[in-house]
Amino acid sequence: MRVVLTFFSPSGYSAKKDYAGADHIFYLPLDSPRNARRFIDLVKPSLVLWVKYDYWYYFLVELKKRHIPLLLVSGMFRPDQPFFRWYGRLHRYMLECFTHLFVQTETSRLLLRRLRVTENVTVSGDTRFDRVIEVAEEWEALPAVDEFCGQQPVIVAGSTWEEDEEEMDHYANSHPEIRFIVAPHEISEDRLAEVERLFRHCVRYSAWIRNGGIGLAGTRKATPGWPEPNVLLIDNIGMLSKLYRYATVAYVGGGFGDDGVHNVLEAAVYGRPVVYGPVIEKYIEAIELTESGGGIVIDSAVEAEKVFDRLLRDAREREEMGKASREYVHSRKGATGRIVRFIQENRLLTS
């Protein structure tokens, strides 16, 4: 058996292009009748796992035509999606292409029931819970990051955009005793330069490694009273899931943009308080983490500073929030095993 892993998102591809668990990794061609036919002719899949949100009409229809088993993994449905609107006939047809739909929540199952999609739906949960637990259990220290953090309190800000960084730059620039690790969602030179302009006492991870952890010497001119940088700017892809382990408090970006917050589970699994912006309504894990007491939603830079001050000062609140975060993640594990059992019991990989 060979495993083919495809992406449409550049960030997803960049993070997993060297993944050892797949035999072939590449971008999925754009959705068209010709591309779908050619791609499936070349790959000849025995089983297709379609993960989460993006539904590509021509690929799905072609798989159905050829009677290739097709499973939706970690599906999530909301009333505002086209499936449930008067104009959503093509979207509803795409649902008929799936052999089975594994959805994250009971709410999603009930929405599908409104469309009379009932026989082939299972509430399995989200496989990301299993993955972040696995990553946390395999965690290994990063010596250069250890050296940067020292014994200081650390705020790790992951998957950030400019809107997120603007919520934190004043706090970082006025608190030399706190270490910040900032991992932007995109790492183009323009984005990295933007971060450096906002955070005045900043060193790139690559420079920190290259200069043996000597701080600003040889990279940027030190400011009197700031003998070394207090912001480590991550200029590579793939480290973030390990970096959250260093956090005294974690901040997850995206919550001040239109698309919403990024993956809060990567931080929560380490038992850390998790802070994020207000755009979370499409992300059930962020909503549930907030309700569990492990996450805090902020609306402004002023509120961010108040929350950071409070959490860094109050060890008991940090401990309680961290415990709630970890327990929330571990209470949702098991989706991967449920899906694997379905595949085995239905002998979907025996042909």
**Residue 17 belongs to some domain of the structure:** no
CATH of the domain at 265: 3.40.50.2000
297 and 149 fall within a common domain? yes
Q: How many domains does the chain have?
A: 2
C-beta neighbour count of 47 within 10 angstroms: 15
| Model confidence pLDDT, tens digit, residues 22-74 | 999 999 999 999 999 999 999 999 999 999 888 999 999 999 999 999 999 99
With CA atoms as reference, report the closest residue to 127 among 349, 340, 350, 345.
Answer: 340
- 218 versus 287: the higher-pLDDT residue is 287
C-beta neighbour count of 323 within 10 angstroms: 13
226 and 168 fall within a common domain? yes
- What integer pLDDT is reported at residue 135 of this predicted model? 95
- What integer pLDDT is reported at residue 223 of this predicted model? 55
pLDDT of 339 higher than 50: yes
50 and 187 fall within a common domain? no
C-beta neighbour count of 70 within 10 angstroms: 21
119 and 150 fall within a common domain? no
Residue % of the chain over a pLDDT of 70: 95
With CA atoms as reference, report the closest residue to 91 among 120, 132, 60.
Answer: 60
**Residue 223 belongs to some domain of the structure:** yes
120 and 146 fall within a common domain? no
118 and 183 fall within a common domain? no
| Model confidence pLDDT, tens digit, residues 217-242 | 434 444 555 568 999 999 998 899 99
Phi, psi of 152 (to 5 degrees): -85, 155
- What integer pLDDT is reported at residue 322 of this predicted model? 98
Range of the domain at 87: 31-125+334-345
C-alpha span between 295 and 6 (Å, rounded):
32
90 and 167 fall within a common domain? no
142 and 49 fall within a common domain? no
CATH of the domain at 98: 3.40.50.11720
- What integer pLDDT is reported at residue 330 of this predicted model? 98
198 and 315 fall within a common domain? yes
| Model confidence pLDDT, tens digit, residues 112-167 | 999 999 999 999 999 999 999 999 999 999 999 999 999 999 999 999 999 999 99
- What integer pLDDT is reported at residue 212 of this predicted model? 74
204 and 322 fall within a common domain? yes
186 and 227 fall within a common domain? yes
C-alpha span between 155 and 164 (Å, rounded):
13
pLDDT of 286 higher than 60: yes
Alpha helices in the chain (DSSP H): 10-16, 33-43, 57-65, 89-96, 106-114, 127-137, 143-149, 162-173, 189-198, 205-210, 240-243, 265-268, 284-292, 301-313, 315-331, 335-345
**Residue 19 belongs to some domain of the structure:** no
